Structures are given as structure tokens and as C-alpha cells.
Structure 1
Amino acid sequence: MSRIRPLAAATFLLGPAIYLAAEAITAAAWKSPSYSYADNWISDLGSATAGVFQGRELDSPLHVVMNSGFIVQGILFGIATVLLSRTISGRARTFTAVMGVVTMIGYILVGTFHGSLQAQQNGTLALHFTGATLAILGGNVLALVLGIHWRKTPETRLIGLVGLVVGAFGLVSVVALFLTFGAGLPSGAIERGSVYTIVIWQVAVAIALLRSRADSRVPRVAATSASAGTASTGN
């Protein structure tokens, strides 16, 4: 168990780092048009073909970088959540592992099947949207449910609150995205409200795992010191 926590934490941190780096690098490569974090969807970065799709002009020369970022993030998320599940008892353990794998599959589908006019024409667009749904709902539902579970215990109350807030916000953002689609609002920013919550949760869980591992050492150190003090007094 002592090795699982730092390994899970490292995996939770590595996924977002690679994902955000891939997004930033791919967005910076857009020249004409320039990429807009407010108006363009994240999956626009992964479009393998240039052209107009859903009213947005796409031309992503480094789409391979973004799609690799999606896939790596998904794989690392799956590994991290399976490791995390081993630190949890009861039904929450199975739920965590299953939802982690579901989210992983979603990210892999998004990175494999792109959102573009070509995808709409060749019939693979449904696979892209299926992947996006699995990834976004899977990650945010996991954060929300574990948040509820962790809030019951004093030691995990803070990370539980974080999970509740980001999970709920992510799910509300999904609803807002579909309700306001085509209304002229910054749909890219709204979509990010449902995706970046997962990234925030990953980082928060990693920090909580590292802190819990550090705290678990304190009683043993204190006990050792106390024993040494007693032995010294006895002498």
C-alpha cells in the first residue's frame, strides 16, 4: 500500500501535464485561423482535416500531438484510478476502477476518431462524440461520487469537497454546453468547464495521496520517539 499511493499520485500528475502541454503546443501551431480557447472546442485541435465544421474553421497542423495527448491522458487516467481503487474499500473500490476504465476508453476514442466534416461524412463522428461523452461524464461523475464518499471521513473531507465542487461544476457545464449550442456563446470556454474539472480533480487527488502518505508516517515516528524517550527515562 505504501508504494501504491505515490505511484497513483505520479500517474495522476503526469496525465494532466502531458494533456495540457499537448493542447498548448497544438493550439500555438494554428496560424490561419488562429485558435481560440473561448470559441474553438478542444477536439478541434485533433481534427486531421482542414475545413469548416459546425460553423468553426479548422486547420490543425499538429493534430497528431493533440490526439496523442488525448490517448496518453486516457491511459494514465485509467492506470491511476485502478491504483487509487486499491486504497479504497467497499463498493466504492469497484466503482472507481470501472469509471476509470470507462473514462480511459472515452479519451482513447476521442484521440482516435476526430471531430471534423470528414468524420461526419465517413460515419466516425458518432464514435468521437461517444468517446467525448464517456470521458467527460465518466471523469466528472467519478469526482462527484468519490467526493460524496470521501466527505464522510474527516481525513478525506477536504478532497471530498473538492470532488463534489469540480464534479458538479463539470456536469453542469455539460448541460450548459448542449443547451446553449448555436446560441453564439463561447462554446469552447463552456466545454472547457466540463473538461478542465477532470484535470483539476486529478491534480487534487494526487496532492491528497502524497499528503496522506506523509501523514501516515507521523504516528510511527512519534511512537518511535516516545519509546526512545521512555527507554531513556528508564535508564
Structure 2
Amino acid sequence: MNDLKPDLSAVPQSRAAGAALIAGGGVYFVAEFIAAAAWTDPPYSYTYHFVSNLGVHGPATAFGQFMYSPLAWVMNTGFILFGLAVLTGVVMLRGLPGRRWALVATAAVLAAGSTLVALFPGSSEASALHGLGALAAFGGGNALAILLGRAHRLLGLSRRLGRALLMLGTLGFVSLVVYLTVATGTGVLIGFFERGVIYPFLVGFIVLGAALRRPAHDIAVAMR
């Protein structure tokens, strides 16, 4: 049964990495809330409007939606800081032989995608770059959650948390399929399903970050 026990000597020194992952998810949620609260005429809808509409100052109309985000710069700054924080957190992880390159590369795709979303707002003429960035962020975020879940033992985390991360990433990909087909095609609850793509991996990063911040002794107890 020794192979089921955590090797604490191999547990990454990841408290700073955990803080960065928590910050990444937190920055996103806070920026979204502030930008949405400032959009009052008409009120912003979390279920109807695209997320990236919050990054368009406007007023403008694109993709069949009216866009007017008075604090668009807050959302766009949040997009960039979120991606950079997650990438920083993954880079700071240690003790991941054979998997580090895949995790860092996937986090880089997420960071690059969220940066493109911020630099090329949804109503701009460069909407192709915006769309590319959104797909990179969607895919990179959920793939990263899955990869981190598969590396739970190397990270010194419980199998339960590993399975949770796998489930969250899978849920995000399922939501992405619905978003790109049913929701985008009909416009029904498009904001809801888009958040179904994003929120799972955001929650996963925050929970993972909190776990990485725990003392090594607590990690050992959790893994028994």
C-alpha cells in the first residue's frame, strides 16, 4: 500500500503557485462583476449577453446584440491579468517530471487566448482574432483543468480533487459543444452556456490553488 501514500519530499513548493491560481480566478470574477454592474442601460444579462460584450465600450451592435460597457477597460484588464496569473501559477509549480512542458504550454495557450480577447474586442473589425482568442482560452482553460487533475499525485493532492478537476474540465468541453452549436445557432441562453464553458475551470483553479496553499501535513492527511 506504500504506493498509495504521498511522497512529501516530491510535493512541489507550490504555495506561491496556489496564490497565483486563486488570484487568476478571483481577478476574472471581480472584473466581470464590476463591468456588468456598470452596464445599466439596459441592464447586462448573464444569461443573454456574451461575456466578451463586457469588453466593448460601445455603444455598438454586433452578432445580434447591443453592446455598451462603460467599464470595458476593467473587463479587458481582467482578461489579461487572469491569463497571466494562471500562467505564472503553472510555471511556478515544481516536481512535475514529464508533464511540466504540457502544463506550461496549455497555460500559455490560455493566456494568449485571453489576451487576444482583450486586445481585439468582440465588435472590432478584427473579430476573427477575437474569436480565435476565445476558442484558445476556452480550450486551453478546460484542457489545463484536466491535465492538472491527472497530475494530482505529483502535485501532492487527493484523488478526489484530481477527479473533481477532470470533471470540471469535461463539463467545460461539453458546454463548449452546446455553446458552439445549439446556443450560438439559436441565441437561446447563449450567455449561460458560454459561462458553462468558463466557470468550471475558473472554479477548478481557485479550488486547486487553495489546496496548494495548505501545509504539507494537511496534504498528507487528505491523501490517506
What is the TM-score of this pair, normalised by structure 1?
Answer: 0.83
Letter in 2 for 1:188: G
Q: CA deviation at 1:193?
A: 0.5
Structure 2 counterpart of 1:22, one-letter code:
A
**Alpha-carbon distance, 1:155 to partner:** 4.8
1:110 to 2:117 alignment? yes
What does residue range 1-235 of structure 1 map to in structure 2 within 5 Å? 4-84=13-93, 86-90=94-98, 92-116=99-123, 119=124, 122=125, 124-150=126-152, 155-180=157-182, 181-211=184-214, 213-215=216-218
Q: Deviations over 1:79-121 (max 9, x none)?
A: 011112x23222x1111111111111111111111001xx1xx
Mapped contact 2:26–2:206 kept (Cα < 8 A): no
Partner SS, residue 150 of structure 1: coil
- For the structure 1 residues 152 and 194, does the alpha-carbon distance in structure 2 shift closer, same or farther, using more than 3 Å as the test? same
Structure 1 range deviating more: 3-12 or 197-206: 3-12
Q: CA distance change for structure 1 residues 23 and 217 in 2, over 3 Å: closer, same or farther?
A: same
Moved more, 55-64 or 153-162: 153-162
**Structure 2 spans left out of the alignment, 5+ residues:** 1-9
Following superposition, the deviation at residue 9 of structure 1 comes to 0.8
> In structure 1, what residue type is equivalent to 2:127?
L
What root-mean-square deviation, in Å, do the aligned CA atoms of Structure 1 and Structure 2 show?
A: 2.3
1:24-46: CA deviations, max 9, x gaps? Answer: 11101112121000001110000
Look up the match of 2:7: none
CA contact (8 A) 1:139 1:198 kept: yes
TM-score (norm 2): 0.86
Tell whether the 8 Å contact from 1:151 to 1:158 is kept in structure 2 after alignment. Answer: no
Report the count of equivalent residues: 211
**Pair member with larger Rg:** 1
Q: Secondary structure at the match of 2:185?
A: coil
